[in-house]
Homo-oligomer: A and B are copies of this chain.
Amino acid sequence: MKKQLIRNLQVGDEVETQALVLECNRGNYSAPHRAGEFFLKLNLGDVSGSIKAILWDTAGMKELPRKGDVIFLRGDVTDYYGPQVVIAELRKLDPEKVNRSFFQPVSERDPREMLRELKEVINKEIQHPHLKLLLLSFFNEQEFTRRFALAPAARTIHHNYCGGLLEHTLEVIKICRYFVSLYPDHLRLELLLTGAILHDVGKIEEYDPASLSFEFSDRGKLVGHISIGKEMLDRKINQIPEFPVQLKLELEHMILSHHGMREWGSPEIPKTIHAFALFHADLVSARLNQFVRLMEKRPPGEGEWTEWDRYLERSIYLKKPVDEI
């Protein structure tokens, strides 16, 4: 099905495309002879941007579009305090069948390639039998792997795009591997990498997989990815015979404490060197990505400072210190 990017729509264009309904409000007609009738004011979006739209004639519609729906629409771009689509035809699409990449931003690297890289870590670097069994019990499961490869790492802060979870996980793996090189006597590579690979697995249930805008699932809001991840770990370990108790304890602790502080959602703070290292690897990956995303959001030619970011609580200075470096 045809797809025009919203960013490219101009006044005067004919439109025939798919879009995500971001907002949908009714408007009532004031003329007495149209009492009870109404029109729809919509805000439509895709991966490239958003646009206003209006649907005047709703009389014959069986089912009205709702926030979160994907629709097919046909119409014209007019100007009403900026461009606005006057919709001539509208119908809902099956969200399972649309091309999600039309609506969701994706990581720069191909998720399949990143997944291959992750599996290579498991195959080549993890020799410990129980750790290897544990990791394979996750990544040999097709549905888990599919969702893991598509999930974002966060909703609004860092790695907030499809494949972001995978990208973030690979980054945390790298940083952990680096920490082992700094403290080889204290950190065990295989254990730390296992923690790195699994620390955010709960995220695949924290986001509503049906949502094209990375909305949290109910369970994500009520249980959270840390406790979901702990539950997924329990389930897998319970299926592995004679999994060492002490090893389970360490892995549980790593997942539960990886946010580092109670205020940040970890029910316990890191009390082992592996949990402490994992927390810092996660922190560094998340924070640098967050900073770089803000830098990249700046509209070009708009001065040396980004806009204020409420998560980082600052603007960023972008001017290069010297060009030749």
**Cα(A7)–Cα(B227), bound, Å:** 44
**A182 to B292, alpha carbons, bound, how many Å?**
11
- Chain B residue at minimal CB-CB distance from A177: B178
Q: Is the CB of A30 within 8 A of B227?
A: no
Q: Is A135 an interface residue (CB 8 A)?
A: no
Please state if A222 and B186 are interface contacts (CB–CB under 8 Å): no
- Classify chain A: how many residues form its interface, as a range: 35 or more
Q: A186-B295, A188-B325, A224-B267 are in contact. Are A218 and B317 (CB under 8 A)?
A: yes
Partner of A321, one of B219, B247, B284, B295: B247
Taking CB atoms and an 8 Å cut-off, the chain A residues in 131-181 that contact chain B are: 171, 174-175, 178-179
Q: Mark A5-47, 1 if CB is under 8 A from B, else 0.
A: 0000011100000000000000111111001000000000000
Smallest beta-carbon distance A181→chain B, Å: 8
Kindly list chain B residues whose C-beta atoms are within 8 Å of the C-beta of A272: 222, 316-317
Cα-based distance from A219 to B188 in the complex (angstroms):
21
A268 to B190, CA, bound (A): 31
A24 to chain B, nearest CB (A): 12
Closest B residue to A129 using CB positions: B324
Q: Does A256 touch B at the CB level, under 8 Å? A: yes
Quick check: is A122 within 8 A (CB to CB) of the other chain? no
Contact A246 B316 (CB under 8 A): no
The complex places the Cα of A100 from the Cα of B223 at a distance, in Å, of 38
State whether A128 touches B322 (Cβ < 8 A): yes
Q: When the two chains form their complex, are residues A322 and B183 in contact, meaning their CB atoms are under 8 A apart?
A: no
B317 near A271 with CB under 8 A, answer yes
Interface string of A266-286 (1 = CB under 8 A from B): 111101111011001001100
Interface residues of A in 272-325 (CB under 8 A from B): 272-274, 276-277, 280, 283-284, 287-288, 291-292, 295, 304-305, 313-317, 319-322, 324-325
Chain B residues with CB below 8 A from A322, complex form: 128, 130, 191, 244, 246-247
Residue A78 is within 8 A (CB to CB) of chain B in the complex:
yes
Residue of B nearest to A324 (CB): B128
Q: Report which A residues bind B (CB closer than 8 A).
A: 10-12, 27-32, 35, 78-80, 82-83, 128, 130, 171, 174-175, 178-179, 182-183, 186, 188, 190-191, 218-219, 221-224, 226-227, 230-231, 234, 244, 246-247, 249-250, 252-253, 256, 262-269, 271-274, 276-277, 280, 283-284, 287-288, 291-292, 295, 304-305, 313-317, 319-322, 324-325
Give 26 CB contacts A-B under 8 Å. A28-B83, A30-B80, A130-B322, A171-B182, A183-B292, A188-B321, A190-B325, A191-B321, A218-B304, A222-B252, A222-B268, A223-B256, A227-B230, A227-B256, A227-B268, A230-B231, A231-B231, A234-B234, A247-B321, A262-B262, A262-B263, A262-B264, A271-B316, A280-B283, A280-B284, A280-B287
